[in-house]
A and B are shown apart, each in its own frame.
Chain A
Amino acid sequence: MATAEKEKELIAGLRDAVINYKIADAKKLAEEAIKEGADAYKMTMEGLAGGMETVSEKFDNHEYFVPETLLCAKALYGALDVLKPHIKSDSGSKGQVVLGVMLGDVHDLGKNLIKAIFESAGWTVHDLGRDVPLKSFVEEQLRTDSDIVMLSAMMTTSMVGMKKLIPMIKEKNPNVKIMIGGAPISEKTVDDYGADTTADNAPNALREAMNMLESLRKGMVSA
C-alpha cells in the first residue's frame, strides 16, 4: 500500500507526463504505482484524467494543437494500459457513449481525439472505428445501453447517412442522445437531421456530453 505522500507524488508525475507528453515516463510511473500498491483508479482519475483536463484547456486556448494533443493521448494510453487491469470493477463510469465514423468515411482523427478525451474523463467509450455500417451503431447502442451515440463525418457524402441513421437509433431507443460532428456539420444539420447537438472540437464535445447526461439523469429521476 503506497503512502499518501507517495500517491501524491505519483499523481503529480502522471499528470506531468501526460501534459508534457513524456510517453516513456507515463508508462514507467504507472508501473511504479502498481508496484507500490497505489489505487489504480485514483492514479487514473487524478493523474491521467487530471493531466488530460489541462491538455483540453491548452487545446482550447490554442497553446496545444493536434500533434501535441495526440502525443498527450499517447502518453495517457501508455499508462492506462498498465493501470486499467488493476482498477476495481465497481469504480464506476461517468457515462457510456457509442462512437464511430459514418459509412464511406475514413477520416477518424477527430473521432480518436474525442475517444481519448472521453476515456480520460472516466467515460466508457464503445469505439466502432471508421467506415461503420449504419446498423452497427443501432446494434451497439442497444447492446451497451449507452447514453449517447456520437457520429462523425468529414464529407457531405458520408454526412447524409446521418439523416437515415438518427431515426433508426431513436426508433429503437427514444431516450438516447445523439451528437454529430465533423467539417460539414452545423447547427442547421443538427436540426434538419433530428440530432440533439454538435460540437466543434473534443473538449466541447465532452462539455456537451456532460450536459446531455445530466438532462438524461434528471429525466430519469422525474419519471
Chain B
Amino acid sequence: MSMLERVATAATMGTPDVVPCAPLVCGAAHRFSGQTYEEWSRCEDPEAMVAGGLAAIEYADMCGIVLLVDLTVEAGAFGCETIFPVMDTAHPNYDDPFIKGPGDYAKVKKINPRETGRMKGVLDQIAGYSKAIGETHAIVGFVYGSLGTLSMMRGPEAFFMDLVEHPDEVMGALEIMDDVLAEYAVAQKEAGAHAVCYDNLYASESILSKPLWRKFEGKGMLKVCDAIADSGALVVHHNCGNGIYFDELEKYGHPHAVSHAYVADDVDSWEEHKKKWGSKICTIGWMPPGPVAMLGNEEEIEEEVKAEMEIFKPGGGFIQSTGCEFPPNAPLKHAKMIVDAAKKYGVY
C-alpha cells in the first residue's frame, strides 16, 4: 500500500497493512525550508514552505502533511492584526484587538478566501504538495472554526463573556464567517487536499458547556463539514481539549477521523474510548506533544507508541500521531522516532 492508501483505509475505518503515522509536523517544518519561523509563518513563499514540508516528510518518512500554519491564518485574513515573533508561533495583537467591543462584531465582512491573506498562501501550498506527492501521500487541509477564529479577533476572555452577554452580535459575525470558511474548505479540496481538517477547539468540556457550544458552532460546523464532504474530501476534525464532545461532532460534523489528545467526555479511559467511539470514528493521535514527543527520549517515545498501538491498532481505524501539533521547537529526530516505532508496532 502507498502512504496515501494506508491513510485513506484507516480514515474510513479499514485495516491497512500497517498503521499509518504522521506526527503533526507543521511549524517544525520551517527548519527544512531555509526560512526563519517568522518567514515561514508569513506564508509569503509557499514554494519554500512546500520544499521544507517535503524534506520533513522524507526525513521522518511520514504518511502525509497537515496544512496548519497557525491559528491566526483565518483571523488575519478577516482583518485581525497578527504578531509574528521570530522564533514563536504567530498570535493576534491582543493589545489592540480587531473587535474591541460588542458593536465591533459588525465589522466582520465577507472575504474571498481564494485571494485573501495567508488563506491564499495555504491554498498555494496545497497545490504545490498535490503536484509533488498528491498520488502517494495524504494532503490534509486545515480550517480553524469560526468560534475559535472570532475569539482570536476579540480576545478569548472578552469573547467568552460576550457569548452570554451579547449573543446576537456574536452570532451575526459567525454566520458571515461560516460561509467564508465553507468556501475556503472547498478551495482546499480543489487545490488538491484529500481531506480537510476542521478545528473545533471549544467543543470540549475544557471550555464551553455542550448547549452553549452547540448554539454557537453546531450549525456553522455542519455547514463547513457538509461543504467538505460534498466536495469529495474526507472530513477530519481536530480538538486537543479535554473531554471532547464526540456526540456533537458526530451530529454536526460527520467526521471520518478525529485528531485528538484526550478522550471523549462520555468515557473515562482510552480503552473505553476505543470501544465506544474508536469503532466508528478513526482516531488520529494521541501522543502528548510536550511531555513525550518533545521531552521524551527514544525509549519513552517507543513505549508510548507501543501502548497506544495496543489499544487502538486492533480492528483498524487508527492513525498514529501526536495529539496536537508536533512542538515547533522539538528535536525533529523525535518525529522520526515516532514513525519508526509505529513501523515496528503497527504491522497488521
Compute how far the CA of A62 lies from the CA of B212 in the bound complex, rounded to whole angstroms.
13
A185 touches B (CB below 8 Å): yes
Compute how far the CA of A155 lies from the CA of B207 in the bound complex, rounded to whole angstroms.
17
Residue from the list A109, A157, A159 in contact with B89, Cβ < 8 A: A157
Residue of A whose beta carbon sits closest to that of B91: A106
Q: Are A156 and B329 in contact (CB under 8 A)?
A: yes
Pick 12 A–B contacts, CB within 8 A, sort by A: A21-B164, A65-B209, A67-B163, A70-B157, A104-B85, A104-B87, A106-B91, A160-B329, A184-B289, A184-B290, A184-B327, A186-B291
Q: Report A-chain residues with C-beta under 8 Å of the C-beta of B295.
A: 188-189, 192
Q: Are B208 and A156 in contact (CB under 8 A)?
A: no
Compute how far the CA of A184 lies from the CA of B292 in the bound complex, rounded to whole angstroms.
10
Compute how far the CA of A186 lies from the CA of B300 in the bound complex, rounded to whole angstroms.
15
Give the Cβ gap from B334 to chain A, nearest Cβ, in Å: 12
Q: Report A-chain residues with C-beta under 8 Å of the C-beta of B330.
A: 156
Residue of A whose beta carbon sits closest to that of B328: A157
Within 8 A of B (CB), among A126-161: 130, 155-160
A8 touches B (CB below 8 Å): no
Q: Report B-chain residues with C-beta under 8 Å of the C-beta of A184.
A: 289-291, 294, 327
B160 touches A (CB below 8 Å): yes
- Whether A104 touches B88, Cβ cut-off 8 Å, given contacts A66-B208, A186-B290, is yes
Q: Are B288 and A186 in contact (CB under 8 A)?
A: yes
Within 8 A of A (CB), among B261-317: 288-292, 294-295
Residue from the list B88, B94, B205, B208 in contact with A155, Cβ < 8 A: B88
A112 touches B (CB below 8 Å): yes
Interface size on A, residues (CB 8 A): 31
Q: Report B-chain residues with C-beta under 8 Å of the C-beta of A159.
A: 290
Q: Report B-chain residues with C-beta under 8 Å of the C-beta of A107.
A: 156
Compute how far the CA of A105 lies from the CA of B85 in the bound complex, rounded to whole angstroms.
10
Compute how far the CA of A122 lies from the CA of B319 in the bound complex, rounded to whole angstroms.
48
Within 8 A of B (CB), among A60-96: 62, 65-68, 70-71, 74
Compute how far the CA of A157 lies from the CA of B1 in the bound complex, rounded to whole angstroms.
37
For the A-B complex with A104-B87, A184-B290 known, give 8 more contacts whose Cβ atoms are closer than 8 Å.
A62-B205, A65-B205, A71-B161, A71-B164, A155-B89, A156-B289, A184-B289, A186-B290
Within 8 A of A (CB), among B24-53: none
Q: Are B240 and A183 in contact (CB under 8 A)?
A: yes
How would residues 205 to 221 of chain B score, 1 for a CB under 8 Å from any chain A CB and 0 otherwise?
11111001000000000
Give the Cβ gap from A18 to chain B, nearest Cβ, in Å: 15
Q: Report B-chain residues with C-beta under 8 Å of the C-beta of A71.
A: 161, 164-165
Compute how far the CA of A108 lies from the CA of B160 in the bound complex, rounded to whole angstroms.
13
Compute how far the CA of A130 lies from the CA of B95 in the bound complex, rounded to whole angstroms.
11
Query: Most A CB atoms within 10 A — which of B157, B165, B324?
Result: B157
Residue from the list A70, A74, A112, A156 in contact with B294, Cβ < 8 A: A156
Give the Cβ gap from A73 to chain B, nearest Cβ, in Å: 10
Residue from the list A66, A70, A106, A158 in contact with B94, Cβ < 8 A: A106
Within 8 A of B (CB), among A97-115: 104-109, 112
Q: Report B-chain residues with C-beta under 8 Å of the C-beta of A130.
A: 94
Q: Are A157 and B329 in contact (CB under 8 A)?
A: yes
Q: Report B-chain residues with C-beta under 8 Å of the C-beta of A62.
A: 205, 209, 243
Q: Report A-chain residues with C-beta under 8 Å of the C-beta of B89.
A: 155, 157
Q: Are A156 and B88 in contact (CB under 8 A)?
A: no
Q: Are A74 and B161 in contact (CB under 8 A)?
A: yes
Q: Report A-chain residues with C-beta under 8 Å of the C-beta of B161.
A: 67, 70-71, 74
Q: Report B-chain residues with C-beta under 8 Å of the C-beta of A108.
A: 157
Give the Cβ gap from B21 to chain A, nearest Cβ, in Å: 20
Compute how far the CA of A186 lies from the CA of B292 in the bound complex, rounded to whole angstroms.
10
Q: Are A185 and B207 in contact (CB under 8 A)?
A: no
How would residues 232 to 256 of chain B score, 1 for a CB under 8 Å from any chain A CB and 0 otherwise?
0000000010110000000000000
- Whether A67 touches B156, Cβ cut-off 8 Å, given contacts A156-B328, A184-B327, is no
Compute how far the CA of A190 lies from the CA of B289 in the bound complex, rounded to whole angstroms.
15
Residue of A whose beta carbon sits closest to that of B324: A183
7 A-B pairs closest in CB distance: A184-B290, A156-B327, A186-B291, A67-B160, A188-B291, A104-B88, A65-B209
Q: Report A-chain residues with C-beta under 8 Å of the C-beta of B207.
A: 65-66
Q: Are A66 and B160 in contact (CB under 8 A)?
A: yes
Compute how far the CA of A74 lies from the CA of B88 in the bound complex, rounded to whole angstroms.
31
Give the Cβ gap from A27 to chain B, nearest Cβ, in Å: 15
Q: Report A-chain residues with C-beta under 8 Å of the C-beta of B291.
A: 184, 186, 188-189
Q: Report A-chain residues with C-beta under 8 Å of the C-beta of B87.
A: 104, 157
Residue of B whose beta carbon sits closest to that of A158: B88
Give the Cβ gap from B157 to chain A, nearest Cβ, in Å: 5
Q: Are A189 and B91 in contact (CB under 8 A)?
A: no
